[in-house]
A and B are shown apart, each in its own frame.
Chain A
Amino acid sequence: MTATYSRQDFQSEQEVRWCPGCGDYTILASVQTFMADAGIAKEDIVFVSGIGCAARFPYYMETYGVHSIHGRAPAVATGIAAARPELSVWVVTGDGDALSIGGNHLIHALRRNMNVKILLFNNQIYGLTKGQYSPTSEPGKRTKSSPMGSIDYPFNPVSLALGAEASFVARTIDMDRNHTIEMLTAAYQHPGSALIEIYQNCNVFNDKAFIELTAKESRDENQIRLVDGEKIVFDNGTKGVAIEEGRAFVIDVEKFGMDVVHTHEAGLDNPATAFALSRLSHGPHGPTPIGIFRDVEREVYEQELDAQISSATEAKGPGDLAAILRSNSTWTVD
């Protein structure tokens, strides 16, 4: 069912209570704009979250929503999607929620290819608990819980999702609303699970973590925009990405020519190239790809589940309780 909406139709009555200047505001606006454009009936949309700053998100969306438990949003969303495949189910999560306490549910939702769209707000810090290092914080990060510097090696969420058999993986940046909406649209159109890592600035506990990608003076040289079917070039066409022996690296286009520049193909069955691209940056520091890393079609779990129900019903007829009570041998006492 499609409907005509404005962004305001997706704004709930609850007062938005993120810190002033938080990147979450921009993402909320992008999602509400996307929803108005997508035209999915409001009543068919469910937002599910766990715990953390990002997890407040469902309260601000005038759709159905569940604010669940720390780390468990992908599981709850899985139940909704498996029960009602016709619904549009979205998970909003953060780096602590998705990658620390909820890591297990995240990887399993991805590998099953549930039709659940997961928006991972990565700010590389624990915000709601007031500033501890997270599983994406850079090594050496000094926080309240790591006064001498973090000795945890971080996850690269895109690499992790690719390793978890995700069929759609993308990355975007909170401040870039057009790009965010583009990624949301692609994720929505993709059948099955989708993970979008959204670099989200926490201006209170981890300000400017993504400044290299967002500042006017440095963003051109650091944003590598992945576009399907196109050569991967950036910094006004002066730099490109080549892939050799499974490793991606940045080259000087003038020096090496366009022939060696890699043409991006998000639809490759083998995730190795996407993985190589995901290793271009850590942190992120230096040139960092944003866009769709991988977008392949695979069986969607809940469709397979429904198909089994249909084929079982076709083969055996609709269930007859009286018959299954007699599935062991029976005898009659007269």
Chain B
Amino acid sequence: MATTQDPAPPATERELRQRVVIRFAGDSGDGMQLAGARFTDASAAFGNDLATLPDFPAEIRAPAGTLPGVSAFQIHIAGSDILTPGDEPDVLVAMNPAALKKNLGDLKPGGVIILNTDSFEERNLAKAGYDTNPIEDGTLDGFNVLTAPMDELTKEAVKDSGVTGRAVLRSKNFFALGALAWMFDRPSDTTLDWLADKFASQPEVVAANTAAFKAGYNFGITTEAFAHTTFEVPKADLPVGEYTNVVGNQTIAWGLIAGAQAAHLPLFYASYPITPASDILHELARHKNFGVRTFQAEDEIASVGIALGAAFAGHLAVTGTSGPGLALKSETMSLALMAELPMVIVDVQRGGPSTGLPTKTEQSDLMMAIYGRHGEAPLPVIAAASPGDAFETAIEACRIAVKYMTPVILLSDGYIGTSSEPWLLPDTSALPSFPAAFATEINHDDGFMPYLRDPESLSRPWAVPGTAGLEHRVGGLEKDQLTGNVSYEPANHEKMTLLREQKTQAVANDIPDIEVGEDSDAELLVVGWGSTYSAIKAGVLNSRTTGHKVAHIHLRHLNPFPPNLADVLAGYNKVLVPELNRGQLSRLLRAEFLVPTTSFSKMQGQPFMAGEIEAKIIETLGA
């Protein structure tokens, strides 16, 4: 990719690394998420493969300089295809003592630390809990420490920009970004063009950040320690095509738009703001020109009720939330499955129970998704495996909802929702198509029967208001299996209970068989679902390269399971189920298939690291 550097870097011996993990860490007000996102775009433009992981505090602004206020962004760049944001960072950028203290333990031995020395003064050291200055007291022995007085150098750089006062120091993230751009040979254009575009209406901000970026870059060239710590991460050999960098909340929004188009229905998204799902609402609210109606409701219960109303009225109705909101929506989801109306419920899971860890990831809503309703209330549940996969999974959720006239839960999580990966853009002309067919005519000799089912899908007709002659009532009371009228007849209730279950099971008839990717010699099968995909994949591949006989399957469909899952599980002596919960899928597999699964559980609000999976695979095979 052609780039213009300003000024041109002097020829230098860059150390070749196949992969590097970098973590930007600073105070929440230091702009680390922004710096990380800019470095990500520059890395994508350079041609690396990459994966990212933001890690920010739940508080909007925790007290400055404290440990709870530290915000971090990790990026893994590599020359060959990679799957995770990386286990241990090779490079840590620490904008203050708290950022150093909180992240130092994760850094690889001998790793590079870039510090803003201006923030290592008495007050900030005390806030971080350092009695002495770690730069001077030997704490950092064994690391490659690079220091810069970033406050001073940023002030100096931006003095002619027109930005004054406290706003001056807001540019210091761009100073750090400039130094990193030098260190990793990133194209400057990507960042500077973005700045010019983003702040077009504030030329002084463009000037200040551009000046800080260049000052950081030049500091890298001219400062000896920096000048000799430079890396070359080769371009990746990725499949040919057009790429973009996506986070899961965005791809779910896009997938819902695509799903509505495939169903030939207007999209209606009703939601109540909740971390980490709100960005789906934000993204969809920007796309009203698709006919998308977004509705910010008064509460979680209202949002799913509004979605139910929109579904009855003939729209592709979706509501989105996180765990606490899913709990509140449960009663209305039961109504949707009783009334047999199509709806998609997106759950971007976070650490629970209760308010739990709002900004951290977890997979602990699986049981609630499958069983968490009163009465016998089965509904289809599917899960996205990565930000890119979330696009297809959202389309699939829409397909099942419309075809089977049922609420469908789409599970994502904080990691998928907020982390990014390069995504090979799909051919939009080749996306699935599943036009919804509204009932328009009387379907029975005795009049319109709203519960007369399609014999194959067991789906009932969708007659929407405005259709003359098909006026009917739906509701939460048990209904006669044909007329839909209220019925307390004992045999009818049992029949309807079974029909609702059979309808959910019927979804298995048109979902693909699960395929085992790796060699058939495996003794151990690792079964995953959701956002653990990348870590499990990497862990399994690493294990296989060291001769361990292990295979991996990853489930998108969790209720019902793929039709051949029983056969696949039966083919292995050992089944390992890594999950960011206390073994929820593991229990489901045991209950459903009577297989002796081993659960591998992690409950830290963080994704699995590939190394953890690899170690567990080796341990399980050896046991």
Which A residues have a C-beta under 8 Å from some C-beta of B?
Answer: 12-14, 41-46, 48, 51, 58-59, 61-69, 72, 75-84, 86-87, 104-105, 108, 305, 308-309, 312-313, 315-319, 321-322, 324-326, 328-334
> Cβ of B177 < 8 Å from any Cβ of A?
no
Is A309 a contact of B289 with CB atoms below 8 Å? yes
Which residue from A72, A84, A322 sits with its C-beta under 8 Å from B465?
A84
Which residue from A12, A43, A81 sits with its C-beta under 8 Å from B469?
A43
How many pairs of residues, A versus B, come closer than 8 Å at their CB atoms?
212
Docked complex Cα distance between A128 and B41 (Å): 61
> Cβ of B335 < 8 Å from any Cβ of A?
yes
Is B288 a contact of A309 with CB atoms below 8 Å? yes
- In the complex, besides A76-B306, A309-B288, 4 extra interface pairs with C-beta distance below 8 angstroms are A76-B308, A79-B268, A83-B313, A315-B289
Q: Which residue of B lies closest to A311 (CB)?
A: B288
Most buried by B among A51, A86, A325: A325
Q: 23 A-B pairs, CB-CB below 8 angstroms?
A: A44-B466, A46-B313, A59-B473, A66-B475, A69-B305, A72-B302, A75-B303, A76-B308, A76-B312, A78-B306, A82-B309, A82-B310, A83-B310, A83-B317, A84-B466, A104-B299, A312-B287, A312-B288, A313-B291, A318-B290, A321-B290, A329-B41, A331-B243
Contacts A66-B474, A79-B305 given; indicate if A104 touches B243 (C-beta within 8 A): no
Is B305 a contact of A105 with CB atoms below 8 Å? yes
Find chain B residues with CB under 8 A from A84 CB.
313-314, 465-466
User: Which residues 567-591 of B have a CB within 8 angstroms of A?
Assistant: none
Q: Which residue of B lies closest to A306 (CB)?
A: B293
0 or 1 for each of B174-195: is its CB under 8 Å from A? (1 = yes): 0000000000000000100010
Docked complex Cα distance between A13 and B266 (Å): 33
0 or 1 for each of B233-268: is its CB under 8 Å from A? (1 = yes): 000001111111110001000100110010000101
Which residue from A43, A66, A78, A308 sits with its C-beta under 8 Å from B470?
A43
Give min CB distance, B246 to chain A, whole Å: 7
> Cβ of B412 < 8 Å from any Cβ of A?
no
Is B476 a contact of A68 with CB atoms below 8 Å? yes
Docked complex Cα distance between A41 and B470 (Å): 13
Give min CB distance, A163 to chain B, whole Å: 16
Q: Which residue of A lies closest to B258 (CB)?
A: A321
Contacts A59-B486, A325-B425, A325-B428 given; indicate if A69 touches B287 (C-beta within 8 A): no
Is A325 a contact of B426 with CB atoms below 8 Å? yes
Which B residues have a C-beta under 8 Å from some C-beta of A?
Answer: 1, 41, 44-45, 47, 190, 194, 238-246, 250, 254, 257-258, 261, 266, 268, 270, 287-293, 295, 297-299, 301-303, 305-315, 317, 331-332, 335, 339, 425-426, 428, 465-477, 485-486
Q: Which residue of B lies closest to A107 (CB)?
A: B298
Is A334 a contact of B240 with CB atoms below 8 Å? yes
Contacts A44-B465, A87-B466, A334-B240 given; indicate if A79 touches B471 (C-beta within 8 A): no
Docked complex Cα distance between A149 and B254 (Å): 57
Docked complex Cα distance between A322 and B41 (Å): 20
Find chain A residues with CB under 8 A from B289 CB.
309, 312-313, 315-319
Most buried by B among A41, A61, A308: A308
Docked complex Cα distance between A66 and B315 (Å): 16
Most buried by A among B44, B290, B331, B486: B290
Is B309 a contact of A76 with CB atoms below 8 Å? yes
Which residue from B41, B310, B472 sits with its C-beta under 8 Å from A79?
B310
Find chain B residues with CB under 8 A from A65 CB.
472-475
Most buried by A among B41, B331, B476: B476
Is B465 a contact of A87 with CB atoms below 8 Å? yes
Contacts A87-B465, A325-B425 given; indicate if A75 touches B293 (C-beta within 8 A): no
Contacts A66-B312, A82-B295, A319-B257 given; indicate if A330 touches B244 (C-beta within 8 A): yes
Find chain A residues with CB under 8 A from B245 CB.
328-329
Give min CB distance, A313 to chain B, whole Å: 4
Give min CB distance, A82 to chain B, whole Å: 6
Most buried by B among A45, A86, A308, A329: A329
Docked complex Cα distance between A44 and B1 (Å): 59
Is A333 a contact of B238 with CB atoms below 8 Å? yes
Docked complex Cα distance between A114 and B486 (Å): 29
Which residue from A44, A79, A309 sits with its C-beta under 8 Å from B291?
A309
Q: Which residue of A lies closest to B472 (CB)?
A: A64
Contacts A68-B475, A79-B306 given; indicate if A331 touches B45 (C-beta within 8 A): yes
Which residue from B243, B309, B426, B486 sits with its C-beta under 8 Å from A75?
B309
Which residue from A12, A67, A69 sits with its C-beta under 8 Å from B474?
A67
Contacts A80-B312, A329-B41 given; indicate if A309 touches B293 (C-beta within 8 A): yes
Docked complex Cα distance between A86 and B467 (Å): 13
Give min CB distance, B79 to chain A, whole Å: 13
Find chain A residues with CB under 8 A from B307 CB.
79
Q: Which 6 A-B pairs have the closest CB atoms?
A: A79-B309, A67-B475, A319-B290, A75-B305, A79-B306, A65-B473
Is B332 a contact of A72 with CB atoms below 8 Å? yes
Find chain B residues with CB under 8 A from A61 CB.
473
Is A58 a contact of B314 with CB atoms below 8 Å? no
Docked complex Cα distance between A76 and B319 (Å): 13
Give min CB distance, A53 to chain B, whole Å: 14
Docked complex Cα distance between A44 and B469 (Å): 11
Docked complex Cα distance between A228 and B469 (Å): 39
Find chain B residues with CB under 8 A from A51 CB.
476
Docked complex Cα distance between A140 and B378 (Å): 45
Is B309 a contact of A333 with CB atoms below 8 Å? no
Which residue from B194, B243, B471, B476 sits with its C-beta under 8 Å from A330?
B243
Contacts A80-B309, A329-B245 given; indicate if A108 touches B254 (C-beta within 8 A): no
Docked complex Cα distance between A43 and B470 (Å): 8
Is A324 a contact of B257 with CB atoms below 8 Å? yes
Find chain A residues with CB under 8 A from B240 CB.
333-334
Is A80 a contact of B313 with CB atoms below 8 Å? yes
Give min CB distance, A268 to chain B, whole Å: 27
Find chain A residues with CB under 8 A from B309 CB.
48, 66, 75-83
Find chain A residues with CB under 8 A from B290 CB.
318-319, 321
Is B475 a contact of A332 with CB atoms below 8 Å? no
Is A83 a contact of B474 with CB atoms below 8 Å? no
Give min CB distance, B93 to chain A, whole Å: 23
Is A326 a contact of B244 with CB atoms below 8 Å? yes
Find chain A residues with CB under 8 A from B475 CB.
58-59, 65-68
Docked complex Cα distance between A312 and B301 (Å): 29
Give min CB distance, A223 to chain B, whole Å: 35
Contacts A43-B470, A75-B301, A80-B465 given; indicate if A69 touches B331 (C-beta within 8 A): yes
Is A12 a contact of B243 with CB atoms below 8 Å? no
Docked complex Cα distance between A80 and B293 (Å): 12
Is B308 a contact of A79 with CB atoms below 8 Å? yes
Give min CB distance, A79 to chain B, whole Å: 2
Give min CB distance, B347 to chain A, whole Å: 19
Which residue from B266, B297, B302 sits with its C-beta under 8 Å from A83?
B266
Which residue from A43, A79, A316, A326 sits with its C-beta under 8 Å from B467?
A43
Is B242 a contact of A331 with CB atoms below 8 Å? yes
Find chain A residues with CB under 8 A from B485 CB.
13-14, 59
Q: Which residue of A lies closest to B291 (CB)?
A: A309
Contacts A43-B466, A43-B471, A333-B238 given; indicate if A321 touches B428 (C-beta within 8 A): yes
Docked complex Cα distance between A59 and B291 (Å): 32
Is A82 a contact of B306 with CB atoms below 8 Å? yes
Is B238 a contact of A75 with CB atoms below 8 Å? no
Give min CB distance, B440 to chain A, whole Å: 11
Docked complex Cα distance between A36 and B303 (Å): 33
Q: Which residue of A lies closest to B331 (CB)?
A: A69
Q: Which residue of B lies closest to A112 (CB)?
A: B298
Give min CB distance, A80 to chain B, whole Å: 4
Is B313 a contact of A329 with CB atoms below 8 Å? no
Find chain B residues with CB under 8 A from A108 CB.
297-298, 302
Which residue from A41, A45, A48, A331 sits with its C-beta under 8 Å from B44?
A331
Which residue from A67, A69, A86, A325 sits with its C-beta under 8 Å from B254?
A325
Q: Which residue of A lies closest to B270 (CB)?
A: A79
Which residue from A68, A305, A308 sits with its C-beta under 8 Å from B305?
A68
Is A79 a contact of B476 with CB atoms below 8 Å? no
